[in-house]
Amino acid sequence: MPCDSCKDIPRPAPVCENKVLIIQICNSNYAKDDNFDIYLNNVYIGHVDLTMDYVLNGGMFIGDSSFPLTIVQPDFCCPIDPQIMPTFTFCKEILQFGINTLKFVRTQDNHNGNYGLVSIRNYTRDGITLVDPCFISGFSYGGEGEYTFDYSQCCYPSNPCPND
């Protein structure tokens, strides 16, 4: 088979020994935002309910279905609060080498605009705890749409959280 016929087959994500990829989506403007279903590379991974004013709410998406896992060294732009930031898991096999796409599909328009932060980290798995975070990506979102991040290596040089 000629090499050109394989160019559209996505390469698997980098093999990151004992690492777990975590995505945090956080409504960081302290105002009510829209609600969204979240897709990673066109696969549904969960949703965010951003209807609360004055609270850093959103969702955590863990690329490992072994649950429960506990993050003991948080390294996200927003604090982790299980009461207002539910956790979802997804199969890490949907991650691809290189560019990956997070898609926000509006499920409820709350008529107040949108602004928030997405933080993506790799954590080292130590039993049921997640430690030693390393930076993969961080960016802001502005509502419904597609947002991309590069996953070509297991860790990148640290990058501070974007300004609110």
Query: What are the pLDDT digits (tens) for 100-143?
Result: 999 999 999 998 889 999 999 999 999 999 999 999 999 999 99
DSSP state of 163: P
Q: Is 159 part of a structural domain of the chain?
A: no
More confident residue, 158 or 105: 105
Q: Is 25 part of a structural domain of the chain?
A: no
Which two tokens mark 96?
């691809």
Domain that holds residue 46: 32-151
More confident residue, 156 or 55: 156
Q: Is 61 part of a structural domain of the chain?
A: yes
Q: pTM, whole model, 2 decimals? A: 0.87
Q: Is 80 part of a structural domain of the chain?
A: yes
Q: Is 72 part of a structural domain of the chain?
A: yes
* Residues contacting residue 145 through CB under 8 Å, at least 6 positions apart: 103, 104
Compute the average pLDDT of residues 55-65. Answer: 88
d(CA 14, CA 91): 14
Number of domain units in the chain: 1
Q: Is 142 part of a structural domain of the chain?
A: yes
Cα-based distances in Å from 86 to 5, 47, 57, 116: 42, 9, 9, 16
